[in-house]
Amino acid sequence: MSTALLTDRYELTMLDAALRSGHAERRCMFETFARRLPQGRRYGVFAGGGRLLDAIEQFRFGDEELEWLRQERVVHDDTLEWLANYRFSGSIRAYREGEVYFPGSPVLEVEASFAEGVLLETLILSVLNYDTAIATAAARMVSAAAGRPLAEMGSRRVGERSAVAAARAAYIAGFGATSNLEAGRSWGVPTMGTAAHSFTLLYDSEREAFSAQLDAMGAGTTLLVDTFDVARAIDLAVELAGPELGAVRLDSGDLPVLVHEVRRQLDSLGATGTHITVTNDLDEYAISTLAAAPVDSYGVGTSLVTGSGSPAAGMVYKLVAHTDGDGWVPVGKRSAGKASVAGRKDAVRELSSGRARAEIVHVESDPEASVGRLLQVPLVVDGEIDEQWRGPAGVQAAREHRAMAVAELPRDAFRLSQGDPAIPTVYR
- Torsion angles phi and psi, residue 283, rounded to 5: -140, -175
Closest CA to 394 of 192, 191, 190, 188: 188
* CA distances, 49 to each of 46, 207, 332, 390 (Å): 8, 48, 25, 9
Binding map of a second copy across residues 73-112, x = CB under 8 A, - = no contact: -x-x------------------------------------
The correct pick among 60, 148, 157, 344 for binding a second copy (CB under 8 A) is 157
Among 103, 149, 193, 424, binds a second copy (CB under 8 A): 193
Shortest separation between residue 258's beta carbon and a second copy, angstroms: 9
Assess 122 for contact with a second copy (CB under 8 A): yes
Q: Is 187 in the site for a second copy (CB under 8 A)?
A: no
d(CA 92, CA 53): 10
Closer residue to a second copy in complex, CB, 28/361:
28
Adjacent-strand bridge partners of 224: 249
Q: d(Cα 206, Cα 253) in Å, to the nearest integer? A: 19
Question: Which of residues 45, 141, 163, 405 is near a second copy by CB under 8 A?
Answer: 163
Count CA atoms within 13 Å of residue 68 on its CB side. Answer: 7
Using CB under 8 A as the binding rule, whether residue 206 contacts a second copy is answered as: no
User: Looking at 259-267, 334-342, 348-356, 401-409, which segment touches a second copy (CB under 8 A)?
Assistant: 334-342
Closest CA to 192 of 225, 167, 210, 212: 167
Q: Under the criterion CB under 8 A, does residue 153 sit at the interface with a second copy?
A: yes
Q: Choose the binding region for a second copy from 87-95, 150-158, 344-352, 400-408 (rule: CB under 8 A).
A: 150-158
Q: Please report which helix (H) or strand (E) contains residue 84, including its range.
A: helix 77-84
Q: Is the distance from CB of 376 to CB of 347 less than 8 angstroms?
A: yes
In the complex with a second copy, the residue whose CB is nearer, 122 or 297, is 122
Of 88-96, 207-215, 349-357, 364-372, the segment contacting a second copy by CB under 8 A is: 207-215
| Burial readout 126-159 (b: 16 or more C-beta within 10 A, e: otherwise) | bbbbbbbbbbbbbbbbbbbbeebbbbbbbbeebe
Q: How far is CA 428 from CA 65, 94, 256, 282, 411, in A?
A: 44, 19, 49, 42, 26
| Cβ contact 401:97 at 8 Å | yes
- Binds a second copy (CB under 8 A): choice among 338, 371, 388, 400: 338
Amino acid identity at 326: D
Q: Is 328 in the site for a second copy (CB under 8 A)?
A: no
- Alpha carbons 30 and 106: distance in angstroms, whole number: 10
Nearer to a second copy, 34 or 348 (CB): 34
The interface mask with a second copy, positions 8-47, x = CB under 8 A, is xxxxxxx-xxx-xx-x--x-x-x-----------------
SS3 323: strand
Q: Which is nearer to a second copy, 85 or 335 (CB)?
A: 335
- Using the contact rule CB under 8 A, the part of the chain among 137-145, 260-268, 299-307, 362-370 near a second copy is 299-307
Which residues 347-376 are close enough to bind a second copy by CB under 8 A?
A: none
Sole binder of a second copy in the list 91, 194, 288, 365 (CB under 8 A): 194
The rounded distance, in Å, linking the Cα atoms of 97 and 206 is 45
Interface residue with a second copy among 116, 251, 284, 346 (CB under 8 A) is 251
Residue (108 or 192) nearer to a second copy, CB: 192
Q: Which stretch binds a second copy (CB under 8 A): 38-46, 101-109, 189-197, 409-417?
A: 189-197
Select from 7-15, 84-92, 360-368, 399-407 the region that touches a second copy (CB under 8 A).
7-15
197 binds a second copy (CB under 8 A): yes
Select from 132, 136, 143, 155 the one that contacts a second copy (CB under 8 A): 155
- Find out whether 137 and 79 touch, Cβ atoms under 8 Å: no
| Nearer to a second copy (CB atom), residue 49 or residue 307 | 307
User: Whole-angstrom Cα distance, residue 277 to residue 285?
Assistant: 17
Minimum distance from CB of 342 to a second copy (Å)? 9
Member of 91, 265, 288, 302 binding a second copy (CB under 8 A): 302
Task: Compute how many residues bind a second copy; rule: CB under 8 A.
Answer: 106
In whole angstroms, what is the distance from residue 184 CA to residue 11 CA? 34
C-beta separation of 297 from 275 below 8 A: yes
Return the H-helix or E-strand segment holding 125: helix 121-145
User: Between 253 and 367, whose beta carbon lies closer to a second copy?
Assistant: 253
What span, in angstroms and rounded, lies between the C-alpha atoms of 29 and 365?
A: 16
